[in-house]
A = this chain, B = another copy of it.
């Protein structure tokens, strides 16, 4: 049994995605999905179908409780909706007035969590808190945002079209959308004129985004196509410049773009990244012998329902159809008092923003946000390989979420360390979004500077783009009322005669009074530490207990603040934000982000400039990557990572790991 110690992570991963699958796709409306027909849309959620059995086998081997979703009942107020609860929601909705005649498409259904204070005060053994479901439904061009009470079987909250955007597209929307262009003679002619067999064409639905009034008021998808002739990696064979905008509801073509005639479709040679497809092993390379990791005395973590207990950490872990994985009620045990102490009420990735840097008609709209905005999925990435390259033996517990989003794979790790540190790490891999070009070689580019990226292979440009992901971090340091402190390092000139030194650094603690005080842009030459402290709780020597955010590598958005995509992705205007806790402010890009105008985003909430000193506050951290592609990214990218830490600062009276026994060879 190798890789035993990675099983915890895999188990949590599978557990999470497995449950996502159940929470997300128990609707008749979705049971028609046919993966074999449209492999490129077999999304991670559905991919788990295949892994379900694997999971059960593995977890049984590891002695975990067999997850029987048919009989599962919630054990904790934050436990996700069970299968029976989801079925009950469907029954309630089918007799709910707007839906009696025809059942809507269900775009989201998830637990509507009880109030934070009730959850913190709930203890194991107490009666479960009332269960409610949060539902986003779509019917006859109307978006319904509903809260369904499972006890009273009533819809207790009903909001119609709250924002300009639409709910995420469901699979049928995508499936039907990509068929529409084939009804258009211009489209078929263009395909054939380019020498491509229609049977070799794979089309994908790309998000339309929002670019001003032109395309408002209707659900649109931009359909772009590829040739899969001769390769599984059709992403590397774009049919350049052929973009068909379709109305998802009317099922008609609303705009037809056909530029880039004569741009050849890149050759399929060397586009297959599967090991089986490589014609030989690396030449003359010294072989790598396998490394086995084992835990002879068994794993160190416990999973009790959705509660995870490991070393000095306890937290609630659950899947979420939009966030992927949600960490709740993270608490760390104080090694002196032996008591559990509150650190974070809730942590999850709130939003994605991936703008590509090409303004041409075929590319300008590629500024994706959110799984609700990214229509594409793929299941081709060499996943097992990735896991092994990412396994961690360092004694930490890693909660891993892996999602195939569009051509990319995002891996999000929550790494809990025994010194109280939480490392949040984002890893990117998958396929580049490439653009066709006439150029076989840089020499042929009249002006290499003018390409929107790097020539990564003959006739293919890897277009420059950014990745941003923002984390919602509802810190509750030893309680809910916290303050955000900018611990500012400033150069101090020594006064004459004070010292042989001319200058030194001085620390200035600036407590943020309102939200605008906490809109933080990092500056290497004007540095600060950023602390979330509990001003009501002091350490033995009088320091407020707290946690600090420790940034790693990062990148900022440079786009024009009035650029439509930047308006929707305005959460990237700062690296750190702190908002007053508001249970409805979860999604930094807006609840209904698809074609949204950005009126319901973090930037808008923060501009209200609410009081945040000694209040229940939420910390937001934006992690960014600039990606200038290079040939090593072809045909699939080596993974790239960045991270940030949440680190105790005067939270413990002293080094918290002195009492932990060294883990030495003799143990084994």
State A527–B626 Cα separation when bound (angstroms). Answer: 9
CB of A388 closer than 8 Å to a CB of B: yes
B384-A664 in contact (CB<8A): yes
Residues of chain B with a CB closer than 8 A to A649's CB: 630, 632
Check A658/B636 contact, CB under 8 A, given A500-B212, A541-B458, A560-B491: yes
In the assembled complex, the CB of A525 is this many whole angstroms from the nearest CB of chain B, namely 6
Q: In the bound complex, do residue A632 and residue B655 qualify as a contact, i.e. CB atoms below 8 Å apart?
A: yes
Query: Do residues B654 and A631 form an inter-chain contact, with CB atoms below 8 A?
Result: yes
Kindly provide the distance from the CB of A301 to the nearest chain B CB, expressed in whole angstroms: 8
B527 contacts A357, C-beta separation under 8 Å: no
Q: Are B524 and A554 in contact (CB under 8 A)?
A: yes
Question: Across the interface, do B541 and A312 meet the contact criterion of CB distance under 8 Å?
Answer: no
A4's closest neighbor in chain B, by CB?
B291
Contact with B along A560-572 (1 / 0, CB 8 A): 1011111000000
Instruction: Provide a sorted-by-A list of 24 A–B residue pairs whose CB atoms are within 8 angstroms.
Output: A1-B668, A3-B668, A283-B335, A285-B311, A286-B312, A288-B311, A288-B418, A289-B295, A357-B505, A359-B499, A360-B499, A453-B507, A456-B541, A458-B541, A500-B564, A502-B563, A503-B558, A523-B524, A524-B556, A525-B558, A552-B553, A635-B658, A636-B655, A638-B656
A489 touches B504 (CB 8 A): no
Task: Compute how far the CA of A492 lies from the CA of B521 in the bound complex, rounded to whole angstroms.
Answer: 21
User: A562 is contacted by which of B288, B502, B521 (Cβ under 8 Å)?
Assistant: B502
In contact, B285 and A289 (Cβ under 8 angstroms): no
What are the 3 tightest A-B residue pairs by CB atom distance, in nearest-first order? A283-B338, A442-B542, A2-B668
Q: Which of B290, B522, B525, B659 contacts A282 (CB 8 A)?
A: B659
Q: Does A487 sit at the interface, judged by CB under 8 A?
A: yes
> Is B291 touching A663 in the complex (CB atoms < 8 A)?
yes
Q: How far is the CA of A295 from the CA of B293 in the complex (A)?
A: 9
Measured CA separation A399–B635 after assembly (Å): 31
Question: Is A498 a contact of B359 with CB atoms below 8 Å?
Answer: yes
State which of B3, B443, B498, B500 has its C-beta within 8 Å of the C-beta of A211.
B500
Q: Of A187-195, A240-248, A370-378, A390-398, which stretch is located at the interface?
A: A390-398
- Chain B contacts for A391, CB-based, 8 A: 393-394
Q: A295-B290, A560-B491, A564-B501 are in contact. Are A507 and B464 (CB under 8 A)?
A: yes
Please indicate the chain B residues that have their CB under 8 angstroms from the CB of A357 in the complex.
504-506
Using a Cβ–Cβ cut-off of 8 Å, how many residues does chain A contribute to the interface with B?
A: 161
Determine whether the beta carbon of A389 is less than 8 Å from that of B394: yes
List of B residues within 8 angstroms of A660 by Cβ: 281-282, 285, 288
B286 with A297: CB separation less than 8 A: no
Interface presence of A559 (CB below 8 A): yes
**This chain: copies in complex:** 2
Which residue on chain B has the smallest CB distance to residue A420?
B632
Tell whether A199 is near chain B: CB-to-CB under 8 Å: no
Cβ < 8 Å to B, chain A residues 229-282: 270, 273, 275, 278, 280-282
A418 nearest in chain B by CB position: B288
CA A575 – CA B270 in complex, angstroms?
38
A653 adjacent to B628 (CB under 8 Å): no
Task: Report chain B residues within 8 Å CB of A653.
Answer: 631
Task: Evaluate contact between B282 and A312: CB separation under 8 angstroms.
Answer: yes
Q: Provide the bound-state CA to CA distance between A158 and B438, in Å.
A: 63
Q: Give the shortest distance, in Å, between A503 (CB) and chain B (any CB).
A: 4
Interface residue? A446 (CB, 8 A): no
A365 to B501, CA, bound (A): 8
Interface readout for A349-363 with B: 1 if CB under 8 Å, 0 if not? 000000101111100
Interface residue A156 (Cβ < 8 Å from any Cβ of B) = no
Interface residue? A84 (CB, 8 A): no
> Bound complex: CA of A492 vs CA of B559, how far in Å?
8
Q: Are B302 and A286 in contact (CB under 8 A)?
A: yes
Residues A300 and B280 in contact, CB atoms below 8 Å apart: no
Measured in the bound complex, the distance between the Cα atoms of B555 and A359 in whole Å is 35
Q: A291-B294, A395-B389, A524-B554 are in contact. Are A457 and B541 (CB under 8 A)?
A: yes
Q: Is A31 an interface residue (CB 8 A)?
A: no
Q: Which residues on the B side are within 8 Å of A634 (C-beta)?
A: 654-655
A88 within 8 A of B: no
A656-B628 contact in complex given A662-B388, A663-B388, C-beta closer than 8 Å: no
Expressed in whole angstroms, the minimum distance between the Cβ of A443 and any Cβ of chain B is 6
Bitwise interface map of A from 402 to 416 toward B, beta carbon under 8 Å scored 1, else 0: 000000000000000
Q: Pick the residue among B504, B509, B564 that contacts A502 (CB under 8 A).
A: B564
Fill in one digit per residue for A122-142: 1 if any B CB lies within 8 Å of its CB, else 0: 000000000000000000000
Cβ of A28 under 8 Å from chain B: no
Whether B288 lies near A300 (C-beta < 8 A) is yes
CA distance A290 to B357 in the complex (A): 48
CA distance A636 to B660 in the complex (A): 14
Q: State whether the Cβ of A517 lies closer than 8 Å to any Cβ in chain B.
A: no
| Given A395-B291, A652-B631, A275 and B658 contact (CB-CB distance below 8 Å) | yes
Q: Are A662 and B382 in contact (CB under 8 A)?
A: yes
Interface of chain A residues 529 through 584 with chain B (CB within 8 A): 529, 538-543, 550-556, 558-560, 562-566, 575
Of B295, B364, B525, B636, which is within 8 A of A521 by CB? B525
Evaluate contact between A560 and B2: CB separation under 8 angstroms.
no
CB–CB A504/B291 < 8 A: no
CB–CB B655/A638 < 8 A:
yes
Q: Contact check, B632 vs A281: say whether CB atoms are below 8 A apart.
A: no
What's the nearest-Cβ distance from chain B to residue A596, in Å?
16
Indicate whether A115 reaches chain B with its CB closer than 8 angstroms.
no
Contact of A336 among B283, B457, B500 (CB under 8 A): B283
Q: Is A494 part of the binding interface, using a Cβ–Cβ cutoff of 8 Å? A: yes
Residues in B neighbouring A14, C-beta threshold 8 A: none
Among B288, B290, B365, B509, contact of A296 (Cβ-Cβ < 8 Å): B290
Excluding A292-B294, A464-B507, 10 further A-B contacts by CB distance (< 8 Å) are: A214-B500, A270-B654, A282-B312, A282-B659, A292-B293, A357-B504, A365-B500, A389-B395, A457-B541, A631-B652
Q: Which residue of B lies closest to A525 (CB)?
A: B556
Which residues from chain B contact A455 at a C-beta distance below 8 Å? 541-543
Among B3, B333, B541, B661, contact of A442 (Cβ-Cβ < 8 Å): B541
